[in-house]
Amino acid sequence: MGNSLPSQTVRLENYCRNKNLEIIKSFSFDESAYTDERDQFDKIFEFIVQHKEKIAICCDKVDRLSRNMFDKRISFLYDKALKDEIELHFVSDGQVINSNISAAEKFHFGISLGLAKYYSDAISDNVKRALEEKLRKGEWPAKAPFGYKNIRVNGKADIILDEFNSQIAIKVFELYATGAYSMNLLLEKMNREYGLKWSKGYLDIILKHKFYHGTMTWDKKEYKHKYPQLISINLYNKVQEVKRSFNKKPIKYAGKPYIYRGLIRCADCDLIITPEKHKGLVYYHCTQYKGKHNAPWFREEELTRQIGQVFRNMQMPKDIADQIVETLNEMHTDQVKFHSSQSNKISKEYREITKMMDNLYMDKLKGRITESDYDKFYISLRDQLTNLDVQLSHLNEAEENYFIASKHILKLSCKAHDLFESSEVEERRQLIKLVLSNLKIKDGKVVFTLQKPFDLIINYVDSQEWCAR
């Protein structure tokens, strides 16, 4: 007969009939015999303990009862059998444990438990080795994060980009990195634009998931994965900085968002300027919580006029911006050779360290190094790979940021005021955070610090006398 549950049940029923044992209760279930949490087994255990008369417990094999020789429940049943309170029958093993068993039979039972434990440990080790090999190859052994999807090709599992959701995931990181979106605002935007009803916890998981920049974390260890990464490690780190800044200042706002809420401080006492609606108009004022200092109230329109003037001052004629872009393109060509040389150098180092990690893993499998030494060397090599990733990311972004992003910034400067005037609340707040920092009200005026490179653009614009077009 086989080892399926029905086969075991038939085998046990025949055994009981042959031994003239009356079946008073039958249990049949598919449950691991080597875990501590065994709900069905606990029901059997409770039945045995509560039963006052001597009974025989019949199992197919010792390893069906337990694969953990240190399980206190098994020790308890074994002691009851030696006290002649119960009998343990293991049909396929041909063993009966009762008060009359010899020392040799006791030894045999101990060996059976030990072999069952060895069998379960061997299975566990094989699973762990297979999992570690999978992770070492850069394969993710679980459900793919949002933006990716699990597939099967010719019976083999794989993970690929989800064409639509991957773009949403990128946008989530980019928007949050601006610092203009709280978790709640970002959730509202995702729901409004994509119908995604995420919880705050789910969004938090996405923003913390290192998978998006190429790193898998499993059992507190990190591995480089083989799948396309959606974001750079720099963008990921920027998001974590923004998260920490929000955690330091847990400001909660209710109701309709105001444009300048949380963005401007009082120059006298450094308190946040508070918005307040009165007769349909929005006013901003200092709460003077630290002491009265005759702080004035400002209409929102007045603040918009002053801040809008900054964006107006950024504007330069389109033909001048085009000339600067053309110069940037020429400089870009000169940088290609340098970028290629540095990139090849980093890639070569990356391949060498990856090969060292492969050799290290083989040394571990062959017992040439201990587990602790493997972990120590692995972490060191992994950190070197991460450092190379950062170098390559910096190299790529240095080129992109200066030669490509500069074009966008120049184009933005040509229409900055129009964008500011026509944007919705969230987008306008983003523009302000992009261009200005340290906004304060001083002597009835908005004072600020210009973010780089917009300070250079405004200074350059101020120094020129544009011809009328």
CA atoms of 93 and 64, how far apart (whole Å): 11
Concatenated DSSP letters of 20-68: T------------SSSS--HHHHHHHHHHHH--S-EEEEES-HHHH-S-
CA atoms of 185 and 427, how far apart (whole Å): 12
CA atoms of 333 and 289, how far apart (whole Å): 57
pLDDT at 404: 46
HSE (side-chain half, CA atoms, 13 Å) at 302 = 13
Place of tokens 């249990």: 27
5-136 has CATH 3.40.50.1390 classification: yes
CA atoms of 37 and 45, how far apart (whole Å): 13
Burial of 233: CB neighbours in 10 Å, binned 0-12, 13-18, 19+ = buried
Q: How many CB atoms lie within 10 A of CB 211?
A: 20
For residue 154, what are the contacts with CB-CB under 8 A and spacing of at least 6? none
In the numeric block, which tokens belong to residue 428? Answer: 């306008």
CA atoms of 215 and 231, how far apart (whole Å): 11
pLDDT at 209: 94
Q: How far is residue 364 from each of residues 37, 132, 269, measured CA to CA in Å?
A: 32, 12, 62
What letter would DSSP give residue 272?
B
What letter would DSSP give residue 99?
T
pLDDT at 254: 46
Q: How far is residue 356 from each of residues 107, 353, 361, 365, 381, measured CA to CA in Å?
A: 48, 5, 9, 14, 8
49 φ, ψ (degrees, to nearest 5): -65, -40
Burial of 244: CB neighbours in 10 Å, binned 0-12, 13-18, 19+ = exposed
In the numeric block, which tokens belong to residue 309? Answer: 């003037």
pLDDT at 211: 95
Does 453 sit behind a cis peptide bond, omega within 30 degrees of 0 on the bond before it? yes
CATH class of 139-252: alpha beta
Task: Please report, as a single letter, which amino acid is at residue 147.
Answer: G
Q: In tens digits, what is the pLDDT along the chain, a chain of 469 residues?
A: 456 788 888 889 999 999 999 998 888 876 554 444 456 777 888 888 888 889 998 988 877 666 444 467 777 888 888 899 999 898 888 889 898 888 888 887 777 776 766 666 666 666 677 788 888 888 898 899 999 999 988 888 899 999 899 999 999 998 888 877 888 889 998 998 888 999 999 999 999 999 999 999 988 888 889 999 999 888 999 999 888 876 654 444 444 567 888 888 888 888 888 888 888 888 888 888 888 887 888 888 899 899 888 888 877 767 766 666 666 566 556 566 666 777 778 888 888 888 888 888 888 888 888 888 888 888 888 778 777 776 666 666 555 544 445 555 666 667 777 778 877 787 788 778 878 888 998 888 889 888 776 776 676 666 555 443 4
pLDDT at 104: 82
CA atoms of 213 and 177, how far apart (whole Å): 14
Burial of 37: CB neighbours in 10 Å, binned 0-12, 13-18, 19+ = exposed
Q: Which residues pair with 274 in a beta bridge?
A: 285
Domain ranges of the chain: 5-136, 139-252, 318-463
CA atoms of 160 and 226, how far apart (whole Å): 10
pLDDT at 253: 47
Q: How many CB atoms lie within 10 A of CB 231?
A: 20
C-alpha angle 165-170-176 in degrees, rounded to nearest 5: 125
- Give exposure, 369-404, as e/b (b: 16+ Cβ within 10 Å): beeeebeebbeeebebbbebbebbbebebebeeebe
Residue length of the chain: 469
CA atoms of 306 and 328, how far apart (whole Å): 32
Q: In what order do the strands lie in the sheet with 264-266?
A: 264-266, 436-442, 445-450
Concatenated DSSP letters of 173-236: HHHHHTT---HHHHHHHHHHHH-----HHHHHHHHH-GGGGTEEEETTEEEE-SSPPSS-HHHH
